[in-house]
Structure 1
């Protein structure tokens, strides 16, 4: 594998209009992903613990709700393997359309579910099943959506271009938290719990229709089409997952370490904060949701900024800056929340998501530069989704458990600092990749 190639930094040409359509397709899919998946996390903290997992102890109900939240993460590696395998074999586009429909359909169905009061335990079972479908679909979305862009653009701008669809994550989260904030401000608690919580889930149909329409008009990158044609003429190859696990273990480790802190800190900031700030620090729910809205607006700009910065400075310096900054800010973050001051709660969220953007902005480009074309979808999906189980699935659970056991934010901060150290070591040991040519990697990959 010519991982050190720096001479041929030109991707196959794509018209400006065609590239804009591709970016819009990937961005819309990522926005739907964030809207669907992170809406569930917010609802787990505010609604599901009461309507689907009732318990005498509020902490127990919340913990059960977050356990159902974690189920989706455990389905993501399976989705990553399935979508990665077929995405490397038959194309990125058809698999991305399937993932979009599964994600949007499952979220819409959640909005129609009867609660525990109506059908008992079957409500929790149905909710968990839909959560598994969400996770399975999302496991294949990120890698493919990023590759639609990464395999079309030159290395010198890859960080900037791939960070645009990555900004779909704060966009989707912004839409979800914005809808929740409007509902929280206009409905009393009884109305919100009775029917208001269903509205944002049903609204996912809008993103689904728009995303499907745009994505259906996008084709796979010429780089992949050429590699696919060459593979069809060659002797049958082994499964992409087996190739990745045998030949690219070092690259998998580099990606996993880069992903770890990004995932954990994101779900601590966007999901656990609703438990910590509202139930422990006494901050009004609408203040927290409005702080999430403002922070995600800023992250819409910060994510592309750090992606573009990684084109100039390299992926490693920006990723390391994000990890070290997170390790420092987490202490300030909890101190600001404990004040109960609305402006300081806003500052806590904004600072946290800015450092998260430094971890996330360069991520798609960094991952794509680790694997040759014939296994790139699989390699990106495995490294991203397996790490997400370790990070996103259990991060809120660990944070809630630590808070319950010690009644203090200090153990939670130590937890975040620990993973930030792991990320710093892993990224520090990785090779710089911001000038690698994806086409040459394909040509000489062994």
Structure 2
């Protein structure tokens, strides 16, 4: 249940982060700036697999007794950093223009209500498309260790190293492809 709540929260924060980055990007750089929100996934994977690899060095008994809790407790630092950024974050110029326009017209609409009234089908298509596109990634990263070690009898360190390498490659490739999208994509 907590994973479901976490997923919904991350989905909202990720979308908001992309929107803020894109709205504040210089002209012609929206894809590149928007890609930095996606890097949170690969940086998080690097941090988590590295932390679990480090904790597994203490042996199975120590890992099961206390080592597996250390990375989760350490993530509290990231939560605090995220809260500080969130509290200090200002509206983008695009959103400020929307607020000014609403004030001029005397409107105080809730955009989320308007979206669900006028475009609920598009919202559902987006939700299911995103679930399909990212679902496999999260299933693999969530269950790979237990399936790989328990059913396939693979080394836990090999699987963690593989996940770490994949996250590192994603960290390198995502900004480059996003930069490329700005340069050769539709304008």
Distance 1:234 1:265 in 2: 45
2:55 corresponds to which of 183, 198, 210: 183
1:248 corresponds to which of 107, 119, 139: 119
Distance 1:313 1:265 in 2: 28
Q: Is 2:65 the partner of 1:194?
A: yes
After superposing the two structures, state which structure 1 stretch, 198-207 or 288-297, moved more: 198-207
Distance 2:178 2:7 in 1: 26
Q: How does 1:343-358 map to 2 (within 5 A)?
A: none
Q: How does 1:195-274 map to 2 (within 5 A)?
A: 195-249=66-120, 251-252=122-123, 255-256=126-127, 258-274=129-145
Q: How does 1:296-375 map to 2 (within 5 A)?
A: 296-314=167-185
- 8 A contact 2:14–2:37 mirrored in 1: no
The Cα shift of 1:151 comes to: 0.9
1:353-385 residue CA offsets vs partner (Å, 9 max, x unmatched): xxxxxxxxxxxxxxxxxxxxxxxxxxxxxxxxx
Q: How does 1:28-427 map to 2 (within 5 A)?
A: 68=1, 71-73=2-4, 75=5, 134-135=6-7, 137-154=9-26, 156-184=28-56, 186-249=57-120, 251-252=122-123, 255-256=126-127, 258-314=129-185
* Count of aligned pairs: 187
- 8 A contact 2:32–2:178 mirrored in 1: yes
1:73-130 residue CA offsets vs partner (Å, 9 max, x unmatched): 2x4xxxxxxxxxxxxxxxxxxxxxxxxxxxxxxxxxxxxxxxxxxxxxxxxxxxxxxx
Q: 1:214 to 1:197 in 2, by over 3 A?
A: same
SS of 2:154's equivalent in the other structure is coil
TM-score (structure 2 length as normaliser)? 0.84
Distance 2:120 2:184 in 1: 26
SS of 2:28's equivalent in the other structure is helix
SS of 1:156's equivalent in the other structure is coil
TM-score (structure 1 length as normaliser)? 0.38
Query: What are the ranges of 5 or more consecutive residues in structure 2 without an aligned counterpart?
Result: none
